[in-house]
Amino acid sequence: MKRAVFTKIYVKRSDCIVFSTIKGFDIHIDRIYPKEEYTDHIINSSISNSLKSKLSKNGVKVINVGDGKIWARAKSCSSCSYFNKTQALVLGANAISSNEIVYSLIVPSRQYLKDMLKELNDLGFKPIVHEIHDIYENKKNRRDLSIRQLQVLLLAYRKGYFDVDRKVTLTEIAKILDIAPSSAEELLRRALLKVIDEFIKNFEKI
């Protein structure tokens, strides 16, 4: 039986617009959130107006988000683009250096991970697995999301299903997961019910 796997994968790439622009400056990238066409970078450092201008000229959207943090949105680099074209669910990423990054992922199975690592290596990303473990559904708590529910929910979010200008349809999500649209709708409905139920219960405790 196939089991979903959580993994952290290190890769090397050198085509990130944000990193190439800020290289040489004492600036820390706190978190990276890859998406299909663009990637969000949370910069936990103060940035000069001249550097903001340089980022903007290079096509990076820069927004102050408070607490000394900057939100920089840029066209996805090669590795971010790669992962978003696979069946892997990108949970986030951490930068190690200007050309090194570690992605946190959920993949359908260990065999899928093995095939993906081979492809990454063939593409020159020099992947290294930092962490890996199977994900087991906790059946004791009915509010816990099943792996399939989590997969549909995260995929819908990453692909822009919940955006105001919806970027993907439920039928397209179902096609990516190779399931019927009715099955995708049911999984998403149950996942949202559990998330909202948990949110309401926590809100009522305040």
Q: What is the pLDDT of residue 59?
A: 93
Chain centroid to Cα 180, Å, comes to 24
The Cβ of residue 92 has, within 10 Å, a number of other Cβ atoms equal to 14
How high is the mean pLDDT in each 10-residue block of the chain (206 residues)? 82 91 82 84 84 92 84 92 86 84 88 95 95 66 68 84 88 87 92 80 56
Q: What is the pLDDT of residue 140?
A: 45
Q: What is the pLDDT of residue 2?
A: 65
Which residues of the chain form beta strands (DSSP E)? 5-12, 29-34, 38-43, 61-66, 69-75, 89-97, 100-107, 128-134
Whole-angstrom distance, CA of residue 80 vs CA of residue 75? 9
Closest to 32 measured CA to CA, from 64, 70, 6: 70
Q: What is the pLDDT of residue 124?
A: 95
Q: What is the pLDDT of residue 138?
A: 47
Question: Which helix or strand (DSSP H or E) is residue 119 part of?
Answer: helix 110-122
pTM above 0.75, yes or no: no
Q: What is the pLDDT of residue 144?
A: 67
